Amino acid sequence: MTELAPYAVTETNSRGRRIAEAAPQGRSEFQRDRDRIIHSGAFRRLEYKTQVFVNHEGDLFRTRLTHSIEVAQIARSIARRLHLNEDLAEAISLAHDLGHTPFGHAGQDALNACMKAYGGFEHNLQSLRVVDMLEERYAEFNGLNLCFETREGILKHCSAENAAQLGELGERFLNSRRPSLEAQVANLADEIAYNNHDVDDGLRSGLITLEQLEAVPLVAAQLNEVRHAYPDLPERRVVHETVRRMINALVSDLIRQSELNISKQSPVTLEDVRSAAAMIAYSPEMNEQQRALKNFLRTQLYRHYRVLRMSTKAQRIISDLFGIFMADSRLLPPQFMQQADVNHARAVSDYIAGMTDRYAIREHRRLFAVEEE
Ligand code: MG
């Protein structure tokens, strides 16, 4: 590993774990965090959770698992180039979606609506609940007992109301301070990954076309280059080559601009990073271009009538499940029923949020279809 920048997160400047543990042997603290995340149950369930497309729609679409792996790859490349802690950027990336509900954004919105009177549902906060409490794998603590900096990176957004209850971890949302550069990298790597794979998945599904994408400057620039250089290339390869170049253009721009921001603000320590403005950023031109792409995806793909039909169904499944478990906690599996004595709505929310797409569909069928036993 190349030498880290003085403002990178290290084991020395880390705020450590909530429960003290012996130092790991043969791996760093942040490698240990990454390993714990990979071995968690919530991580394995990401394989059957989706963002835009529901899992059974096709085997080639991204799931949250492959998405998280792509985010980790992009984050590591950027972290390495900026002399930041690659292991931390990787750990945050692999954990960032652990708290997501089944059925992507539709599921999250539906669960949040159900939980309105009980403190709401935020997927970021749920990812933190998973690693802090819900995983039950270790003899000596609940959750994964991750390092402060990994948990800080997982909690990307948070309402002021929730932040006030999170102690040290919530402080930055109240004092408008920044997380580590590694967390900032993971956050933007997430955006780079989903914008690009949604283009790829959107084209494969036939919901959007290359012709439509020609109106999006970020895509058009790369697409024209590919078509010009390889006039006879089959369409699928044109798409892959274009997406590959888009990721490259975004990552290169991000590294260039971030290096510039870092040299302007010249942080010396990790605390300098936390009190400065965000330094990991695109150039203003690239920012404009990637916003246009996001906008395109929002209007043409995420609001496509076929996606909306599936989302509506997903919302119904979530709200039906929430309703039936709230009406009778005895229908919950035993471990959630126990929690329901403490906080009924939160126990139901934890149970539903942990479901995969297909588990939620089956559970709905088991509880509502009269022909099932
Ligand atoms: Mg994500």
pLDDT digits (tens, 9 = 90+) for 259-305: 999 999 999 999 999 999 999 999 999 999 999 999 999 999 888 88
- Domain boundaries of the chain, sorted by first residue: 29-308, 311-368
**How far, in Å, is the centroid of ligand 1 from the Cα of 194?**
7
**How far, in Å, is the centroid of ligand 1 from the Cα of 169?**
20
pLDDT in tens, 215-251: 999 999 999 999 999 999 999 999 999 999 999 999 9
**How far, in Å, is the centroid of ligand 1 from the Cα of 16?**
25
**How far, in Å, is the centroid of ligand 1 from the Cα of 294?**
14
pLDDT of residue 51: 75
- pLDDT averaged over every residue in the chain: 93
Q: What is the mean pLDDT of residues 357-368?
A: 93
Instruction: Please name the fold of domain 29-308.
Output: Hypothetical protein af1432 (1.10.3210)
**How far, in Å, is the centroid of ligand 1 from the Cα of 190?**
5
**How far, in Å, is the centroid of ligand 1 from the Cα of 67?**
7
pLDDT of residue 219: 96
* pLDDT bucket at 205, cuts 50 / 70 / 90: confident
**How far, in Å, is the centroid of ligand 1 from the Cα of 98?**
9
**How far, in Å, is the centroid of ligand 1 from the Cα of 172?**
21
pLDDT of residue 60: 57
**How far, in Å, is the centroid of ligand 1 from the Cα of 92?**
11
Q: Among 46-55, 101-110, 248-257, 340-349, which is the least confidently predicted range?
A: 46-55
**Percentage of residues of the chain with pLDDT beyond 70:** 96
The 3-state secondary structure of the chain, one letter per residue: CCCCCCCCCCCCCCCCECCCCCCCCCCCHHHHHHHHHHCCHHHHHHHHCCCCCCHHHCCCCCCHHHHHHHHHHHHHHHHHHCCCCHHHHHHHHHHCCCCCCCCHHHHHHHHHHHCHHHCCCCHHHHHHHHHHHHCCCCCCCCCCCCEHHHHHHHCCCCCHHHHCCCHHHCHHHHCCCCCCHHHHHHHHHHHHHHHHHHHHHHHHHCCCCHHHHCCCHHHHHHHHHHHHHCCCCCHHHHHHHHHHHHHHHHHHHHHHHHHHHHHHHCCCCHHHHHHCCCCCCCCHHHHHHHHHHHHHHHHHHHCCHHHHHHHHHHHHHHHHHHHHHHHCHHHCCHHHHHHHCCCHHHHHHHHHHCCCHHHHHHHHHHHHCCCCC
Q: What is the mean pLDDT of residues 146-170?
A: 93
